[in-house]
Amino acid sequence: MDKKVGIIGSGIAGLVCAQVLQRAGVSVFVLDKGRGPGGRMCTRNREQGKWDHGAQYFTARDTRFQALVAEWEKEKIAKAWFELNPTKENASARYVGVNGINAIPQYLAKDLEVRQSSKVHHIHDSGSHWILETEDGTAHNCEELVLTPPIPQSVELLKKSSVFNSLESRALLESVEYEKGLSVLAVLDGPSLLPSPGCLKIDNSIVSWICDNGQKGIPSAGVSITLQSNPLFAREHWDRSDSERGMLLINAAKQYLGSEVIDFHCHAWGFAFAINPLPMSHYRSAKKRLSIAGDGFLKSRVESAALSGIASAEAILESFK
């Protein structure tokens, strides 16, 4: 096949989409504005610790995603962390990356043409091919385009080109909204009080999730704790300093920490989770040779984002027949 597919975003949706296309013999490239692949599947490594600060784990309920996870387990880049409801019918393993969740996007990217630090700031449809301009002044051409940033960011890119107004379902795309999020990456001077398996989902608190990365199996110099705020707290404290909002979250989690926090960093997510993901696997305009995929479809989770990437790749392959 001599048609080239360009994908914006090296998160799980973009990488899985690229892998399916490449394995079917299609020429594909991925552009991403970040320094490394993974998007929200990210692991922060500092002298004092190592933390998963975006996605914490993932499920594998769908058989197509289970096949991918089985490959990752075989390659020793993913492993089951714990089983939720182990004795119930709806038992479902929670998977993590070996040495951090970012191992998975790193694995996927290594066999693909992925260009990081390449922010696409303009897209243009010539009628037969797409031209993607990155901020460093480079132009990348492809016949088919797949957008995988959070939907509001994809919509913004499309609106800057003349394409958006000609798309069907544009009101639907415009309707998708995302919650903000805040993560605190803390180092303790001793062990945490978190019981096995090392994480807690907390209701009725400004801290919605707390995790001991060491108990999860991420090797780290210090005791590395990830705290995540609830969306309301993130929204209300968006403009405050990291030291202020970080301390508020740490104080709210004190009963689970058990040791003193000796250092912490914050990460603010402008687009953490889709509030109202669209009830379809992906969006495609065959006429425009344009697809949109990612966690703005189905459910705002790793598994759904990957399934969205697979579905968009399969639709493109079908159109090439």
Ligand X SMILES: Cc1cc2nc3c(=O)[nH]c(=O)nc-3n(C[C@H](O)[C@H](O)[C@H](O)COP(=O)(O)OP(=O)(O)OC[C@H]3O[C@@H](n4cnc5c(N)ncnc54)[C@H](O)[C@@H]3O)c2cc1C
Helix/strand/coil for 154: helix
**Rounded distance, CA 231 to CA 293, Å?**
23
Instruction: Give bridge partners of residue 122 from the DSSP assignment.
Output: 133
Q: According to the binding rule CB under 6 A, does residue 277 interact with ligand X?
A: no
The footprint of ligand X on this chain (CB under 6 A) covers a number of residues equal to 39
Q: According to the binding rule CB under 6 A, does residue 12 interact with ligand X?
A: yes
**Rounded distance, CA 270 to CA 287, Å?**
32
Q: Among 104, 120, 155, 311, which residue sits at the site for ligand X (rule: CB under 6 A)? A: 120
DSSP assignment of 54-119, as one string? S---B---SHHHHHHHHHHHHTTSEEEEEEESTTSTT-EEEEEETTSTTHHHHHHHTTSEEE-S--
Q: According to the binding rule CB under 6 A, does residue 215 interact with ligand X?
A: no
Q: According to the binding rule CB under 6 A, does residue 34 interact with ligand X?
A: yes
| Residue 261: C-alpha distances to residues 187, 241, 301 (Å) | 6, 18, 30
Q: According to the binding rule CB under 6 A, does residue 301 interact with ligand X?
A: yes
Q: According to the binding rule CB under 6 A, does residue 216 interact with ligand X?
A: no
In whole angstroms, how close is the CB of 190 to ligand X at the nearest point?
A: 26
> In terms of CB distance, is 179 or 259 closer to ligand X?
179
Q: According to the binding rule CB under 6 A, does residue 119 interact with ligand X?
A: yes
Subset of 59-118 contacting ligand X (CB under 6 A) = none
**Rounded distance, CA 154 to CA 294, Å?**
10
| Cβ–Cβ under 8 Å, residues 222 and 188 | yes
Q: Among 5, 21, 31, 155, which residue sits at the site for ligand X (rule: CB under 6 A)? A: 31
> In terms of CB distance, is 1 or 276 closer to ligand X?
276
Q: According to the binding rule CB under 6 A, does residue 20 interact with ligand X?
A: no
Convert residues 227-246 into a mask of x (bound to ligand X by CB under 6 A) and - (unbound): -x------------------
E strand intervals along 126-215: 130-134, 139-142, 144-147, 178-188, 199-201, 207-212
Q: According to the binding rule CB under 6 A, does residue 302 interact with ligand X?
A: yes
> In terms of CB distance, is 202 or 259 closer to ligand X?
202
**Rounded distance, CA 245 to CA 229, Å?**
10
Q: According to the binding rule CB under 6 A, does residue 40 interact with ligand X?
A: yes
> What is the rounded end-to-end Cα distance, in angstroms, of the chain?
10
| Cβ–Cβ under 8 Å, residues 46 and 210 | no
Convert residues 148-187 into a mask of x (bound to ligand X by CB under 6 A) and - (unbound): xxx--x---x-----------------------x-x----
| Cβ–Cβ under 8 Å, residues 275 and 177 | yes
In whole angstroms, how close is the CB of 321 to ligand X at the nearest point?
A: 26
* Binding residues for ligand X (CB under 6 A): 8-14, 31-34, 39-41, 54-58, 119-120, 148-150, 153, 157, 181, 183, 228, 269, 272-273, 294-295, 300-303, 305
